[in-house]
Amino acid sequence: MSTRKKAPESMPSVEQVETELKNINYRKKFRSTLFSTISILIVVAAVAVLVSTLFFPVVQVAGSSMEPTLKEGDILVLVKSDKVTYGEMCCVSWQNKSLLKRVIGLSGDIIDMDADGNVFVNGELINEPYVVEKELGRCEIEFPYQVPENKIFILGDQRESSVDSRSSAIGCVGKDQIVGRVLFKVWSKK
């Protein structure tokens, strides 16, 4: 056994201590900033989801019933409201599906369509520049047709293939079925 004394460990210099303190402070600041940033991002995401759910739902177009105005894949922002007016595009809920259609008639209106696809509301021919080919399409209701109370009459812009208020399966939709009216198109698939 040796009785040799251990050499004392050398003390760090003042510069080394200062450098180490700076590193420790930097790591603390970095963690704090990272935690703060992640917290802010989570709050912003939650607010965005809340706003889009309660006030401005976002939907993606599926199908061709609104062409050429809307194409499949277009992304739309709606404003949540059951107050719609003539010619506006709105999204309605039907059998757990969302349908995008155009408002043609409101409660009490008399809707008529002739064999050529011309649409009359309360006896007046409506101007429909968004319809490329007018036609009666598949129609299961009898015209003239009066829109029931608290309902709206909707049609797709592609009259030959659109399933809308002319179909007995859908018919006129209630105000409680309106998800919202189209506010603007966010992205268009070309």
Spatial distance between the Cα atoms of 148 and 108, rounded to a whole number of angstroms: 6
Q: Which of 154, 170, 162, 69 is nearest to 119 (CA)?
A: 154
Q: Is 77 helix (H, G, I), strand (E, B) or coil?
A: strand
Q: Exactly one of 65, 151, 162, 165 is catalytic; which is it?
A: 65
> Contact 65/164 with Cβ under 8 angstroms?
yes
Q: Which two tokens stand for residue 147?
A: 């829109």
Q: Is 8 helix (H, G, I), strand (E, B) or coil?
A: coil
Active-site residue, 101 included: yes
Active-site residue, 81 included: no
Q: Exactly one of 80, 83, 101, 168 is catalytic; which is it?
A: 101
Largest CA distance in the chain: 117
> Contact 124/118 with Cβ under 8 angstroms?
no
Residue 155 Cα distances to 1, 5, 50, 136, 162, angstroms: 101, 97, 31, 11, 7
> Contact 38/16 with Cβ under 8 angstroms?
no
- How far out from the chain centre does Cα 115 lie? 35
Active site residues: 65, 101
